[in-house]
Structure 1
Amino acid sequence: MPHGSSYPVSRSSPDPARAVPSGRAAVPPGLRLLAAAVCFLLALGLTGLLFVWTDRGQWVDGLLLPRAERGGGYEQPGDLFGPATVVLRHFGRPTLLAALLGGVLVVGLLGRRLRAGVVGVGMVLCAVATAGAVKSALPRPDFAIEGSTTHNSFPSGHVAVATALVLAYLLVLPGWARRWLVVPGAAGVSVIGPATMIAGWHRFSDVLGGVLLSAALFCLAAAALTVRRGGAAPRPRATPVAGRAWRPFAEGVVGLIVLGGVVRVLLPGLAAALPWGPLVAILAAAGLTALAVGLAVFLVRSVEFTGPVDPPQRRAAHPGAVERLLATDSRTAGR
């Protein structure tokens, strides 16, 4: 009679049901960032198409930032013209820009994100080169708009560099520290952008184009960093839709209020020193800048740009588990 047992030797218990991730959690961060980059590029192209290559857009640009009666330039006379030129002169210093770029590398090295720091520096340099190439290559049609010129200044290189510098620090900072950069970073860009308009260097569309260009380059750089060797970026946890929606909305409202207070403190006579056209352009540029920086922080909320992640290893069996299983089988078979 063959020895055997009617009892099963080993039977694996059914695995517990896994929670189905939400739609947002199922989208890889790299794909989400690439989609955002495409949206920013489309917005950049649409801004250039409407404000630069249509007569109505050139008219709106001139309405927001009219040319000065004396000299024929776009300088806005008043008490803010002097401070604006001082801000631009200091920001354009090579030593300051080199120090800010070096800070990106230092923060990346200290946080074990040196690769992200190198990509951030490359992103800033790419913003400079791209803005210069676009301004040189694209013509500005002459629609015989009163006060308009054929000199193309779209997009603004100063605003593109300022925005790219803020976004470069987002790549090297940990996730918990990025949101603390939104208000000071957006406030800094909101000072550089209006300064270029008050000094007569750029129009409103140029400032908006510089912000959109750097935002698109940031999304492309962040998407490239999420492709890691030997691993993938962590997937965000699934949370209720209501819990996802109210928090960024509340933070955005608070950030805009704080940004308005910062601009009011830095430029107390802004409303009294400018006519309504430049004032609307400055406020709109500040709000859109804060929106772009806040959206960048939201897009990388669940991604850490640290070094390569090792592939996940299978959990080793407990020592002696196999031996105990074989001994149980032999005792069962000998019955």
Structure 2
Amino acid sequence: MGFEVGRFEGEVDEELICPICGGVLEEPVQAPQCEHAFCSACIQEWLSRQHTCPVDRNAITSAQLKPVPRILRNLLARLCIACDNAKFGCSVIVKLDALQQHLDECEHNPKRPVHCEQGCGLVIPKDELKDHNCVRDLRALIQQQQTKMSNFQTELADVKRMYTEQKRELQMLKEYMRAIRCSNPNPSPSIRAIEDEIETNEVIRWANSLPISRVTRWGGMISTPDAVLQAVIKRALIDSGSPSHIVNDLMDNAHERRWPPGLATLETRQLNRHTYEQYVTRRIPGKQAVVVMAHDNQHMGEDFNVEPGLVMIFAHGIE
């Protein structure tokens, strides 16, 4: 709907009036052929009932509407309009293109958010302040948060059930493929391709379940972890649901001797610091360690990638 003509200073040109609502054009668009201009909301409502121009009845659809020319937008922007809150005491007159900015700051806006000064700290609309009760509204807020939390927990449980079912189905498929392989020691290329795809999808699904992390202190990298530390990280990988067929490969790739050329030595790491800071890393739950999966880091190139991925352990600096 357009702006009421009576809110404007001076006379408004007829070309700036919406033929449907009779108000000054708001978010105007125009018909493709006849170029008649309308408020966007007005013409959309009109076209929901009939696909014709309200002025000359030429056939048009919503998809054919286009923005009005810049000169028309400029004419509208220069109009001076009274604030929406004039009836609440605001006497400001602003250019139409500055109206929204003024409304966001207008002290007479009855819906302007204000802080309760009675101690609860809630932010509420100005016109509701007189009826505000700290205890009652805080209880209502807590109830809303509890409801949201309950809904979230229900959704999370549904996702877990779905994930468990997918894992079960995937395990059944793997067992089926294993049975085929046992009955045929030399499977066809198509069978091997299916097996590879299943394993790849399993790895990606697991990796995507790990949170994206950020390394804040690359200098804390432990490039030669001892056997005890590797055993701790390996247990964490298993607990996170890592597919069994890649756990050993990932842990082998936790030591610099198995790292790609761009990380192979302290010297190369120092030279390539700005490059490997672009790694997409996923945190191993509960540990100062990340996995750098090959499928996440195809942008890094061969000198910084290794299949299926590598483990990087840190003394500190993982977020």
Indicate the TM-score class for this superposition, using the shorter chain for normalisation: under 0.3
Higher RCO, 1 or 2 (CA under 8 Å, sep at least 6)?
1
TM-score normalised by L of structure 2: 0.23
